[in-house]
Amino acid sequence: MNDAAVERISAELIALLGSGRQVVPFTRRGVPFGLDEAYRIASRVADLRQALGQTPVGRKIGFTNRSIWAGLGIDAPIWNFVFDATVQDAVAGTGRIALSGMPEPRIEPEIALHLAADPAPGMTTGEVADCVDWAAPAFEIVYSIFPGWDFSAADAAAAYGVHGALIVGERMHLPQTGAARAGLISSISVELQSDRGQFRAGHAGNVLGGPIEALTFLVEELARYPVCPPLRAGELVTTGTLTEAMPGRPGEVWTARFDGAGLQPLHLRLE
């Protein structure tokens, strides 16, 4: 893909932000489009969003839960940036988010990790765990600019990583070190429930074996693509849904109750 095509698709993605519109997946437009092209576009879109006043504050890893791959036609995780404009802290364990401009939104209970040191390729899981100083319960709102959630991994990677918003709950500082810290985070389970009676249960082990394992994957994946900047201290990384992603509708209230590592319940009102 030449630079002109990267610019054209990046400009299209910027125009689609907040519009609620959907388009044909990039992989069905008769041009070569894989993860190499997707991450070139993700980098360019990040530049354009910064020009609009949005600052990257971390990354999201998508499709780390292998149990959802078959339903989406996905065969690998992806990543993209999260921005100060898309991340918010829950107040007293409760957040609110407007779904307008996000077609076919879904809600995902996740575990967010904060980096206190730079992780590097080749680190063991325990060494990566020592780069993390706190974990927090989180909800990610994801959405699809492609009708029916019908796309490839490369399409999703380019299209903001399907990221719409991240609501972060109470931070839990982690006293353990190394493999013990990774094991503690991987032991967390969750119950997701809406005020309309929808219920799903999940486990941190669903995300590539655990959130630290998912973070380790991301460190190695970023190193494979020269255009992808490495993770740095101070970044927030949300590691993927612990349950099936559930359709979200305005007026609903969702609650995620976590068991393990002292994570507190998180509530989210959809508007």
**Over residues 181-208, mean pLDDT:** 97
pLDDT single digits (tens) 214-237: 999 999 999 999 999 999 999 999
Is residue 175 pLDDT above 90, yes or no? no
For the chain, give me the number of helices (H) and strands (E)? 7, 14
pLDDT on residue 212? 97
What is the pLDDT confidence band of residue 74, given thresholds at 50, 70 and 90? low
CA distances from 201 to 67, 244, 258 (A): 13, 9, 10
pLDDT at 96: 98
Q: What is the pLDDT of residue 14?
A: 98
**What pLDDT is attached to residue 67?**
73
Q: Averaged over 42-71, what is the pLDDT?
A: 91
Looking at residue 90, its pLDDT comes to: 98
pTM, two decimals, is: 0.96
pLDDT at 72: 67
SS3 content of the chain, % helix, strand, coil (to 5): 30, 30, 40
Closest C-alpha among 47, 41, 52 to residue 12? 41
How far is it, in rounded angstroms, from Cα 124 to Cα 196?
Answer: 43
> How many angstroms separate the CA atoms of 224 and 246, rounded?
32
Percent of the chain at pLDDT > 90 equals: 92
| The predicted structure's pLDDT at residue 64 | 87
Higher pLDDT, 76 or 122: 122
Whether pLDDT at 62 is above 90: yes
Q: Residue range 122-127: average pLDDT?
A: 97
**Is the distance from CB of 72 to CB of 142 less than 8 angstroms?**
no
Return the pLDDT at 73: 66
Three-class secondary structure of residue 249 per DSSP: coil
Give the tens place of pLDDT for each residue, 3-36. 999 999 999 999 999 999 999 999 999 988 999 9
Residue 129 to residue 228: CA distance in whole angstroms: 21
The three-state (H, E, C) secondary structure of 28-39, written as one string: HCCCCCCHHHHH
Q: What pLDDT does 254 receive?
A: 98
Reference 202, options 249, 264, 259, 253; nearest CA is 259
Residue pair 121/239 in contact by the 8 Å Cβ criterion:
no
pLDDT at 31: 86
